[in-house]
Amino acid sequence: MTAKSSGFSLIELLVVVAILGVLSAVGIRSYSGYIKTAERKAAENIMQQISLGQTEYYSANGTYYSATGSSCAATSTTSTAIETNVLGGADSISSDLDFEMCIYLDTSNYMIKSKSKTGKCVITMTAHGTFKRTDC
């Protein structure tokens, strides 16, 4: 007479747990990459809005807005100044966004610089809309 087994063996349960662990690790890594990409795209979209605001600012004042000279350090202060002076006071550069922004003059045009608060990612945009990503 053979004994009838009901349920799962310990080995079967361990295999299922290992498979679930691998799948969750892959999913978390993919999700993390998706979030970083989405934040970079959001920063680039805001930079394009700033570029449009610079066009209006130039029309009204005859010069481009720049908080600093030939370089800048992106901080919450410079981001707020851009919102006030270029974007008409709109809260476009949200504090939830991982990037802070600044504008500086490069020869006769402006450059928009966006720096990650938590990482090393720096995105710059020329007045002509060309992006350059560093450490992203």
Q: Is 49 exposed, middle or buried (0-12, 13-18, 19+ CB in 10 A)?
A: middle
10-61 and 76-85 helices cross at what angle (nearest 10)?
50
Distances (CA, A) of 83 to 14, 31, 48, 102: 55, 30, 13, 10
Q: Which pLDDT belongs to residue 118?
A: 87
Q: Which pLDDT belongs to residue 111?
A: 92
pLDDT, tens digit (0-9, with 9 covering 90-100), for 21-52: 999 999 998 998 898 899 999 999 999 999 99
Q: Which pLDDT belongs to residue 1?
A: 56
Sign of the torsion angle spanned by Cα atoms 95, 83, 108, 131: positive
Q: Which pLDDT belongs to residue 69?
A: 66
Q: Which pLDDT belongs to residue 51?
A: 94
Per domain, the residue ranges of the chain are: 12-134
Q: Which pLDDT belongs to residue 32?
A: 86
- With a cut of 70, which residues of the chain have pLDDT below it? 1-5, 68-70
